[in-house]
Amino acid sequence: MKQSQTLIPTLREVPADAEVKSHQLLLRAGFIRQNASGMYSFLPLGKKILQNIESVVREEMDAAGAVEMLMPALQSAELWEESGRWGTYGPELMRMKDRHNREFALGATHEEMVTSLIRDEIKSYKRLPLTVYQIQSKFRDEKRPRFGLLRGREFLMKDAYSFHSNQESLDAMYDRLFQAYITIFRRCGLNFRAVLADSGAMGGKDNHEFMVLSEIGEDTIAYSDSSNYAANLEMAAVVTTYDQKEHSGQELTRVETPHQKIDVNPEETLKSMLFMADEQPVLVLVRGDHEVNDVKVKNAVSAQIAELATAEETSKWLNVQADSIGPVKVSDEVRVIADHAVKAMGDIVCGANEEGVHWTNAKLDRDFSVMQFEDLRFIQEGDLSPDGKGTILFAKGIEVGHVFKLGTRYSEAMNSTFLDENGRAQPMIMGSYGIGVSRTLAAIAEQYNDDNGLVWPVNLAPYDLHVIAVNMKDETQSQIAGELYKLLTDYRYQILFDDRMERAGVKFADSDLIGLPVRITVGKKASEGIVEVKIRKTGETHDVQKEELTDKLQ
Ligand code: ATP
Ligand code: MG
Ligand code: MG
Ligand code: MG
């Protein structure tokens, strides 16, 4: 590609509103441009690298046995009503009406659409398992779009959905895709960890996030220095000491905030914390004591639970919790709580009041215990890891992927069933698996840069070689550079050829900023047949006879 014929609008200055390195450099090096808050155009270089990441994702997804397809981004509200999420998804879902006043959403995710599709196409256990995926723009009206591609309102996601006739089959696919994700993020050269996005106390096997370790990450992960334990801090709260008293017949009536005693961020009015007590998982609901908005959490929680649980589970939970709920915002935290509530269902029901945290084993009815708030706290650095191996350390992480066992949440709500060996209708068992492709691009940029610009990993770089003619007005230089461009292209290198009538300084600075792995400079020594090869990463340079170049590049 001749640089004079493409669009790489580099900037000398650091754009004012770009706070993090990846955002600054992707703008400065001409990879992306912002159109509106959280919405970006991928310019030619950005598009190339996006394609390279997509190829890695496709190869590994295909190898794991998933098949690619493409669903519409525009989804009818009816689908979301079927699953119950039209009412519960909240303001992140971009909603709109068509000319007939029918409601639609721009897909934030595709569980509903894929469930309805597979419901209509697959009727028998013989056709299962099936895993489909797509790479597509997703839309989320994020409260705080920021950090460029890291938190966009329109962003590229690979989303996959698996359908199974039994739990073992789901477990097997989950493991395969978990491994595929590890391979994908390794091939992207990222320093990452797979963390429990669910409490280890609950088994924690069915919900993992892939976190790129980075100071600018919005999540905190707690990990053990000498085992594989790693969890999103949201989920990694444990209690190390507690005072357990037996109480009988005590009602669980109110959920009150103990946040003066437990260090809860007052911005987050509602949080779930999962504590380990006697190896029993305990759900703790904490409500902030300040008003946020007028949405009743009662509705929010019941709706969220309805979304995540069977009808039986929902009524069980709400019977206990119906009075316990006051006004708070509908948020991701509510979702998290509902999720835990449902998972805890059947074993543990719990709540909290001024005294402490109460829980009961639903099968030992009415046998409550109290944990004093003073004895509860979030996991801290230096704590013993919950698996007993090693000490807890904290790190910041960027969530680039998330794998999740959905079970029958969507298939039951949307009546997606298959006939089993005995001809009985059963709900399909599902998994969902996401990768933020555009976020991954930014995470790579965040890890691969230096003072002069981006330094792409060799296998992902938008081009392999940057050929620069220092002075295009010099006939020898422009001719030799042009010949090399042609020759190396014949050798199947991907080449960016800087044929612009720019000063050498501008060309070199742009080249460093763009960050292709190898630069070949055709300058004054061209008349002697010598060109300079520079390795971007190390900065080392070699003078090479142009005839030897192809050998040297091997
Ligand atoms: P986050 O916690 O960062 O808001 P999420 O948990 O809401 O992400 P998922 O629903 O798990 O996201 O979506 C799958 C993947 O899509 C995420 O792991 C992430 O890589 C990516 N992703 C989610 N939201 C965004 C966004 N606003 N911009 C870019 N990528 C995103
Ligand atoms: Mg989110
Ligand atoms: Mg998340
Ligand atoms: Mg997630």
Backbone phi, psi, residue 473, to 5°: -75, -20
CA of 354 to the centre of ligand 4 (A): 32
Instruction: Mean pLDDT check: name the lowest of 82-86, 173-177, 246-250, 360-364.
Output: 246-250
H or E segment at 388?
none
Which of ligand 1's atoms lies nearest the C-alpha of 153?
27
Atom of ligand 1 nearest to the CA of 209: 18
CA 512 distance to own-chain centroid: 29
Encoded amino acid at 25, one letter? L
- String of b and e for 442-464 (b: at least 16 CB within 10 Å)? bbbbbbbbeeebbbbbeebbbbb
pLDDT at 253: 23
Is pLDDT larger for residue 236 or for residue 465? 465
Determine the pLDDT at residue 299. Answer: 29
Task: Report which bound ligand comes closest to the CA of 210.
Answer: 1
C-alpha R_g of the chain = 27
DSSP assignment of 278-330 = TTEEEEEEEE-SS---S-BHHHHHHHHHHHHS-HHHHHHHHHHHTTS--B---
The set of protein residues with a Cβ atom below 6 angstroms from ligand 1 is 109, 140, 142, 151-152, 155, 157, 399-402, 434, 436, 438-439
CA 399 to ligand 3 center in whole angstroms: 6
What spacing in Å lies between the alpha carbon of 143 and ligand 1's midpoint?
13
pLDDT score, position 266: 25
Of the ligands numbered here, which is closest to the C-alpha atom of 399?
1
For residues 195 and 459, the answer to whether their CB atoms sit within 8 Å is no
Query: Residue 392: what pLDDT?
Result: 86
Q: Please report the beta strands in 173-265, taking only residues with DSSP state E, as ranges in sequence order.
A: 192-196, 207-213, 219-224, 230-232, 244-248
- Rounded to whole angstroms, the maximal C-alpha distance in the chain is 95
- Give 386's pLDDT tier (boundaries 50, 70, 90): low
Strand spans (E) along 17-99 = 32-36, 39-42, 67-68, 74-76, 94-97
Q: Are 399 and 209 in contact (CB under 8 A)?
A: yes
**From 134, 181, 402, 440, mutation site for ligand 1 pocket: most ligand atoms within 8 A of C-beta:** 402
pLDDT at 431 over 90: yes
* Ligand 3 geometric centre to CA of 515 (Å): 30
Which residue's alpha carbon is at the smallest distance from atom 16 of ligand 1? 436
- Is residue 242's pLDDT more than 50? no
Cα 194 to averaged position of ligand 4 atoms, centre (Å): 12
> What pLDDT is stored for residue 443 in this prediction?
98
ipTM over 0.90: yes
pLDDT tens-place string over residues 286-321: 333 222 233 233 323 333 333 433 444 433 433 333
Count of residues for the chain?
A: 554
* Residues with Cβ within 8 Å of residue 20, at least 6 apart in sequence: 147, 148, 150, 216, 446
